[in-house]
Structure 1
Amino acid sequence: MSIEDKIAAGEVQLVQLNDNLIEDIPDSCKAFIALTNDGTLLVSDQKTRDIEFLSLRTRWISNGVIKKSITIEDSTLNKILSDTTTVLSSNRTKDNQPANDMQKQALAIIDEAIAVNASDIHIEKKNEQTRIYFRVNGDLDPESKPRYRNSAEFGIELMRCIYQAMTDISNEQFSLETPQDASFRRDILPDSLFGARIAHAPIFGGHYMVLRMLYRGNSTATFEELGFDKSQIKALDYMMRNPYGIILFGGITGSGKTTSIACALAEVIEINDGAINVLTTEDPVEFIIQGARQMAVTGEGHEERDKAYKSYLKAMMRMDPDVAMISELRDSASVMQAIQLALTGHQVWTTVHAIDTTIILPRLTMMGVSTDILADNHLITGLISQSLVKKLCPHCKQPIEEAAREGKVDRDYLYELNHAGIETDKVFIRGNGCHECGNLGHYGRTVLAEVVIPDATYMNHFRNGDRVGMRHHAFDTQRWMSRHQHARAKIGRGEVDPRDVEKTIGPITRDMIEADNVISIDELRNAGHGGAR
């Protein structure tokens, strides 16, 4: 009987490799060997010419650490590790708790991330160490201050366990050599999470895995609670009451686009007393929207998911929607599907990666869609661009004038704020932290947005490739609120730290400096040089 048959039959079992069992295991070898409880070392055929490893193996045998060594194909070793992990993962207790120590450690890390409302968990195995970082309120833990440190072996075992025993992947092994992604099995996640996405890739000197946490968010939050200005909410209300047209949200990854769309769809459903078919295609589903029919794209690997995504988009037309939501416009095919839905009388909500409202439509032309098709204000009925900035803790925030007296803020920065029309006696910065905010000085995030209803003149500027004209028409003629104006209003109300704003959208006077299409040295001199000493 072969060793894999013996393991499958339960005659022998794998034991966890660590330095207490075998000393001096090189990091380069740990992913290519396994040890059984009868003292047999299983070695991948990829290590048969590794002189360093062969020397160590000879020493382990002579010292009696292992009884014998068997070389097997690398794919067979991976299958043994995968099948063994899967058997362990299926051996669960009645209260659905994980059955092995590595799964317990993975879920303990997730629980800690949930406790601080982290959006992402980063696992980095590099050289001889594993470090784990959280992203909280948009900030990733500094490299010098990870949440966890452990051995390189731990990192590989953790990534392998997460990918092979805790995800919906059924026919793919964890690979150290190629990028992979997957979704967590929902039955193993804490109740506060709706799901979690996993992405892994090799990096120079090691491996990297990121877990994107999908919380059971509050899709009934209002636009006001998200931080939109009253004038912007009026514009959004106008868009929601149009029976057809495409409303596009732009922003970088993690800017809150999906949260805002979930809020919009909840309000659309309420406006229509629920007597409406709101249909979504999402990859992945991030919020449960009461009253909507949400189609979650499934598939293993990028190619299969992309194929499934296109298939779901085509199916939307045949499912009698009144309102459609497409989670992301990725290519010309998805853009044209959105256009077809809008031209046949449907309201369409969707997102695109774009840094401001004047970039959204040009981004679609970069995907191969004709400007003449897009330059129709009855087709494109709304453009929204947004970023997120941390909100100050109301219990410990510090007046900026007090901070300037203490030397924490350069006094020239107060001049810059005054130059921007902001009364500094109403401005606050992040304090030292307190019990209420977990000693962070901030709590949660708020939106900085631009909301534009394009008209025929705006579209003419777009048709002519005149982004400057688009911007001047939107914010000077139509008088929509720019993102920088929105930011200055929040700074003036003491809601956000101006320094955090500048990290998010740049100098708070940037739109004022660029208003005449000229950036002069005098304007930059007046703009100052930031607030922190």
Structure 2
Amino acid sequence: MSDIEIPQELKSAVKFNNNKLYVIANYRAHSLFLSLESRLKKQIENLTVEIVPAEDIIKIESGLLALKDNSLTDERIINTYKKIFESAASVSASDIHILKFNELYTDIFFRTDGKLSKYSQATYQEGEQIMRSIYQNISMSDVSYIENSYQAGQIHSFDRAGLLPESVSSIRIQRGPMMNGHYMVLRLLYKENSNKVHVNAAKIGQILLDKKLITQEVLNESLKIQKERKLKGKYIKLGD
């Protein structure tokens, strides 16, 4: 274990290992935990948080629990979002919606001709890494990725040769917190000489930039799929 100072009141509910904070669910929103998380994020760039059962906290401390590394390598992250961009462009998608639900999973949707369709699902950790990498590493923005802030950026093909599909000139980014998680919307802007046919922005529905809200339609669709997943016991992995 690393020598991270955890407040006495949290020691029975919070453990730290390998740049990750493990916390019991009912302590996740505790003011002391939020303060600890904020402090550590200033020291550890890739800090992540995982909710675990109370019995696992004891196992982590005693070293009896084999901790999993669900992280993607830098190369895999790049290949993953390149594949997402290419898949979206191949169906003339106007938007890519990435919804990351707290400590659960990440849903990825495409909007094509005004209609939403499910593209894939990733783990919560993968979604966090993908969203952070897209915003912080390849977009043009004034500030670094701040998890619970509303932020906007843009990716230009002339700055990121090889990362964007040939038909895409740039991608506009809008991201921020939502109920029970975080979202990122990527608006694909196609080159004028592309043969792609796109729907007018008024028809495809947009993020309400003034109020910083994600479209309710996307959330409703994700919740619908979540219910179906529970009934069928299916889990759609990223890239399937």
User: TM-score range with shorter-chain normalisation?
Assistant: 0.5 to 0.7
- Give the AA of the match of 1:63: G
What does 1:159-174 align with in structure 2 at a 5 Å threshold? 159-169=131-141, 172-174=143-145
- What residue in structure 1 maps to residue 107 of structure 2? 131
In structure 2, the CA distance between the partners of 1:180 and 1:54, relative to structure 1 (3 Å rule), is farther
Structure with greater contact order relative to length (CA < 8 Å, sep ≥ 6)? 2
Query: Is 2:98–2:108's contact at 8 Å kept on the other side of the alignment?
Result: yes
Aligned to 2:167: 192
CA gap 1:44/1:212 in 2 versus in 1, 3 angstroms: closer
**Could you give the per-residue CA deviations for residues 472-525 of structure 1, whole angstroms, max 9, x where no partner exists?**
xxxxxxxxxxxxxxxxxxxxxxxxxxxxxxxxxxxxxxxxxxxxxxxxxxxxxx
1:212 corresponds to which of 175, 181, 187: 187
Paired letter, 2:97:
H
Q: Distance in 1 between the 2:177 and 2:133 partners?
A: 16
Aligned to 1:253: 201
Change (3 A) 1:114 1:44: closer
Structure 1 CA distance for aligned equivalents of residues 194 and 168 of structure 2: 14
Q: Distance in 2 between matches of 1:51 and 1:134?
A: 29
SS in 2 for 1:113: helix
List aligned pairs for 1:121-520, cutoff 5 A.
121-127=96-102, 128-141=104-117, 146-169=118-141, 172-186=143-157, 187=160, 188-218=163-193, 253-254=201-202
Q: CA deviation at 1:254?
A: 4.1
The residue identity in structure 1 corresponding to 2:109 is: Y
What is the CA-CA distance between 1:61 and the residue it aligns to? 3.5
Amino acid at match of 1:148: S
Aligned position for 2:90: 115
How many Å separate the matches in 2 of 1:184 and 1:113? 15
SS at the partner of 1:218?
A: coil
Look at both structures and tell me which one has the larger radius of gyration over its CA atoms: 1
Check 1:107–1:25 CA distance in 2 against 1; reply closer, same or farther (3 A cut).
Answer: farther
Matched-pair contact (CA < 8 Å) for 2:99–2:108: yes
The 2-side partners of 1:59 and 1:217 are apart by 58
Give the aligned CA root-mean-square deviation in angstroms.
4.7
User: 1: distance between equivalents of 2:125 and 2:155?
Assistant: 22
Structure 1, unpaired ranges of 5+: 4-14, 34-41, 68-84, 89-98, 227-251, 257-301, 303-533
Match of 1:103 among 68, 78, 94: 78
Q: Residue 161 of structure 1 aligns to which amino acid in structure 2?
A: S
For 1:154 and 1:45, the matched residues in 2 are separated by 13
Report the AA paired with residue 138 of structure 2: M
Q: Is the 8 A contact 2:167 2:194 kept in 1?
A: no
Distance 1:113 1:25 in 2: 37
How far apart are 1:132 and its partner, in Å? 0.6
Identity %: 27
- Superposed CA deviations along residues 81-122 of structure 1, whole A, max 9, x for unmatched, are xxxx9xx9xxxxxxxxxx621121011011101111101000
Return the offset for 1:197: 0.3
Equivalent-residue separation in structure 1 for 2:186 and 2:150 (angstroms): 14
Post-superposition offset of 1:204 = 0.7
Change (3 A) 1:124 1:100: same
Which structure carries more helix by proportion?
1
TM value normalised by structure 2 = 0.53
Distance 1:191 1:43, change over 3 A: closer
In the alignment, structure 2 segments of 5+ residues that lack a partner are: 4-17, 39-43, 205-209, 211-240
Residues 23 and 211 (structure 1), Cα distance of their counterparts in 2 relative to 1, 3 Å cut: same
Contact 2:97-2:186 at 8 Å conserved across structures: yes
Cα distance in 2, alignment partners of residues 116 and 255 from structure 1: 17
Q: Report the CA distance between 1:51 and its aligned residue.
A: 10
Q: What SS does structure 1 have at the residue aligned with 2:108?
A: strand
Task: State the Cα distance separating 1:178 from its structure 2 match.
Answer: 1.3
Change in 2 beyond 3 A, CA 1:51/1:178? closer
Q: 1:59 to 1:44 in 2, by over 3 A?
A: farther
Match of 2:9 in 1: none
Determine the C-alpha separation between the residues in 2 that align with 1:116 and 1:51.
Answer: 37
Give me the TM-score of the superposition, normalised by structure 1.
0.26
Q: Classify 1:205/1:51 alpha carbon distance in 2 versus 1 (closer, same or farther; 3 Å).
A: closer
Deviation at 1:57, TM superposition (A): 5.2
Letter in 2 for 1:105: T
Take 1:151 and 1:180, find their aligned partners in 2: how far apart are those partners? Answer: 22
Distance, in Å, in 2 between the alignment partners of 1:208 and 1:160 is 11
Tell me: CA distance 1:157–1:218, structure 2 relative to 1, closer, same or farther (3 Å): same
Shift of 1:193: 0.9
**How far apart are the structure 1 equivalents of 2:149 and 2:113?**
30
SS of corresponding position for 1:100: helix
- CA deviation after TM superposition for structure 1 residue 218, in Å: 3.4
Could you say what secondary structure the match of 2:94 adopts? strand
Give the direction of change, closer, same or farther, for the CA distance of 1:62–1:198 in structure 2 (3 Å limit).
Answer: same
